[in-house]
Amino acid sequence: MAFLSNNPRIALILFSCLVMSFHSSASAQNYGTATYYTPPYMPSACYGFADQGVMIAAASEAIWNGGGACGQYYQVTCVSGTNAGTPYPCQGSSSVVVKIVDLCPAGSCRGTIDLSQEAFASVADTASGVINISYQQ
């Protein structure tokens, strides 16, 4: 400790590194909206006609990364509803892990992540159509 008190510049650098590492781990949580799509789920932009199951999702341009999102897993948590018709849509565990298998095209995409119907139903009432979410890789 005497070393740090004699070298305030090093102490400042170490403190800055600590703050930056905490900030990067704390900012891993993102917020957006989720919608859902219905079968058939193939073909997909990432896997063509290869079946990837039903706990899947299509990524909006916000996370697509030129196809870099293919195969990535995201934990999606229902936070709240987006409309008065279903004010409390979150249900079940309110959280699901999905694999990105497709692109949700910019012209028709209504959410940050477009979940399969099964994935959406595991966290929210499908009657709501759109929910506010938190998500992280």
Element (H, E) at 74: strand 73-81
pLDDT average, residue stretch 68-95:
92
pLDDT cut 70: percent of the chain above it: 80
pLDDT in tens, 25-78: 444 899 999 999 999 999 999 999 999 999 999 999 999 999 999 999 999 999
Q: How confident is the model at residue 9 (pLDDT cuts 50, 70, 90)?
A: low
What is the C-alpha to C-alpha distance for residues 118 and 124, in angstroms, rounded to an integer? Answer: 10
**18: number of Cβ within 10 Å:** 10
Measure CA 133 to chain center. 8
Residue 69, exposed/middle/buried by CB under 10 A (0-12, 13-18, 19+)? buried
What is the C-alpha to C-alpha distance for residues 73 and 101, in angstroms, rounded to an integer? Answer: 10
Residue 7 is predicted with a pLDDT of 58
In terms of pLDDT, which residue wins out, 6 or 41? 41
Which amino acid makes up residue 55? Answer: M
